[in-house]
Amino acid sequence: MQRLLITGISGFVGGHFVDFMTRYHNTFEIHGISRSKPAWDFVPPTQKPIDTYQFHQADLNDIPKIQSLITEIHPDYILHLAALSSVAESWKTPVVSFMNNTNIFLNIIDTVRLNDNAARVMSVGSSEQYGIVSEKDLPLFEERPQSPENPYAVARVAQEQLARIYAKGYGLDICCTRSFNHCGPGQSDRFVVSALVKQFVMIAHHLQEPVIHLGNGAIVRDFVDVHDVVDAYRLLLTKGKRGEVYNICSGQGRSILDIVTMLSEIFGVQVQVHQEQDQIRPIDNPRIIGSYQKIQRDLGWKPTISFEESLHSMYDYWDRRISRELPMSR
């Protein structure tokens, strides 16, 4: 049985990936590294992937520990999910964000190099790497020059360049993504769609006035469901072309205000909108919409879950979670 190592396994995408692989592609011995043990609350208790993976608690900045683990596990595949992934947080702590995101990836690939390990490594990047673009540049294709406009994006570009250099200079088998905005059940409310859905659930439970608080409502983003994302990652890990970069996106753009309107219509709740100045970023990309033409051509992948389905699943998640917490809140 081939071995798969997932960094950042305790996170949102890590949990969904383990659940997906356990259900539909249970052909790997899965190992995971993270600083904290998984506490996934978005998989129903009857379906939790118990004892289907081996967890290794470690900090990816601890080079001797990572070298020891990779030598011990000797993975055939490495899915590198670990990162400080919030653009907003990168503005608050740019040094921490940049150093963490570049160093932990470099620690992984350099250990693979030193061990002469032939593992396929998948480096997860971001649509933020494209930077600010004009309407005529949309949708964004992988050939588009990168022009990052925030500390998080700069680190992601550096990560991709390190992947390119290690693939070309050392012969490592690395495949990269530029993943557009994810959404789905279990996502932190530090991310915009999850934050909006949570507020609608709070309003439904009479825990919040019918006022939605947000940052810049005019920005347009390409949101793709996490279940489609993990399917794309599986395909890229096993079949993606060595040295290539792939967009993972829906191909559709929606403004934040449009999402508020959709939520209001779907759940029958009339709300007002209040823009919070402290949520406005110093520089923000007005419109980001991608093309998934390349991954569809090479691997046959395309998104299958509608945005409306995503909103419903996220609403159900927050409704369950908030309902469990209600006795404590009162």
pLDDT at 88: 85
Rounded percentage of the chain residues whose pLDDT exceeds 70: 95
Q: Average pLDDT for residues 294-300, to the nearest whole number?
A: 98
pLDDT at 329: 45
Please check the confidence at residue 51 and state whether its pLDDT lies above 70.
Answer: no
Q: Average pLDDT for residues 292-297, to the nearest whole number?
A: 98
Least confident of 33-47, 219-233, 303-317: 33-47
* pLDDT one-digit tens code per residue, 141-193: 999 999 999 999 999 999 999 999 999 999 999 999 999 999 999 999 999 99
Q: How confident is the model at residue 46 (pLDDT cuts 50, 70, 90)?
A: low
Q: Are 284 and 216 in contact (CB under 8 A)?
A: yes
Please check the confidence at residue 292 and state whether its pLDDT lies above 90.
Answer: yes
- Best CA proximity match to 109, nearest among 177, 55, 63, 153: 63
pLDDT at 39: 86
Alpha-carbon dihedral sign for residues 128, 294, 28, 47: positive
pLDDT at 330: 46
* pLDDT one-digit tens code per residue, 55-101: 999 999 999 999 999 999 999 999 999 999 888 899 999 999 999 99
pTM equals 0.93
DSSP string, 133-163: --GGGPSB-TTSPP---SHHHHHHHHHHHHH
pLDDT at 107: 96
Q: Are 136 and 190 in contact (CB under 8 A)?
A: no
- Other C-beta atoms closer than 10 Å to the C-beta of 136 total 5
pLDDT at 44: 63
- Domains in the chain with CATH codes: 2-182+224-248 (3.40.50.720), 183-221+252-288+306-325 (3.90.25.10)
Please check the confidence at residue 286 and state whether its pLDDT lies above 90.
Answer: no
- Best CA proximity match to 246, nearest among 196, 174, 318, 150: 174
Q: Which amino acid is at 267?
A: F
Q: Average pLDDT for residues 315-329, to the nearest whole number?
A: 84
